[in-house]
Amino acid sequence: MSRWRAGDRVVALLEGGGYAEQAVVRETQVLPVPDGVDLVDAAALPEAACTVWNNLVDVGRLRAGEWVLVHGGSGGIGTLAIQVARALGAHVVATAGGAERTARCAGLGAEVVVDHRTQDFADEVLRATDGRGVDVVLDLLGGRALNDNVRALARGGRLVVIGMQQGRRGELDLGALLARRGTVTGTLLRSRPADEKARIVADTEQHVWPLVAAGRVRPVVHARIPFDEAQSAHDLLESGEAFGKVLLVP
């Protein structure tokens, strides 16, 4: 018997096709709207929350008291990652561009925020951690940031690559990686088989949804833009001005 009934307030981790007026999704990838969250704003949660929980905890093995570097702290993934990591008791370093965005990342819980426009993030990580480095890097940059990410790792550190904003290819100093006993893992959520997605969704509901209901984690929505103005939403994202998620609404 299905868990869900017509009229339930739900969100879902889609396979794609999110611009459609109607969508079909496996019930194992459906989640209830968390208590206290607006139905529309809740649309900012499923993919970001599943990505963050899976990559910080399942892949990155982040634990209380550890240090994590969150690249793109002002983005849809980054704003949620900062909050979840802090709720787990981790120390957060985030990167963002400009004084306003770095201040807002600090407001979300980042203890150290690096302005990537003017600062070297690896240098700032080592300064903040007294030369130790971070235990986990959640990386949306890829490519050209590879060596600096490794330089920022602590011994036994885990670099989790989930994006390629700085390209598909980069040189890796294997000596530096070996010296740190580090690991580099690349992951994608969309290509996972259905049973893995079902597990990730269930884990996210179990662990992240209570944090949302308690107000310790919240969706950060920059703008709601009508479907018929979708191109302006893409333009906003490409401009780099959005802080958090941009939602398309009817």
**Is there a contact between 55 and 69 (Cβ–Cβ < 8 Å)?**
no
CATH fit for domain 48-186, picks 3.30.70.260, 3.40.50.620, 3.40.50.720, 1.10.3720.10: 3.40.50.720
* Structure confidence by residue, pLDDT tens digits, 185-208: 999 999 899 999 999 999 999 999
* Structure confidence by residue, pLDDT tens digits, 133-163: 999 999 999 999 999 999 999 999 999 999 9
- Give the integer Cα–Cα distance in Å for 101 and 116: 11
| pLDDT computed for residue 88 by the predictor | 97
DSSP 64: T
- Rounded to two decimals, the pTM is 0.95
Nearest to 124 by CA among 92, 156, 146: 92
Amino acid of residue 93: V
If phi > 0 it is left, if psi is from -120 to 50 it is alpha, else beta; for residue 174 that is alpha
Q: How much is the average pLDDT of 169-175?
A: 92
Contacts of 159 (CB under 8 A, 6+ apart): 136, 137, 139, 149, 150, 153, 182, 183, 184, 185
Is residue 1 over pLDDT 80?
A: no
SS3 227: helix
Residue ranges matching CATH 3.40.50.720 in the chain: 48-186
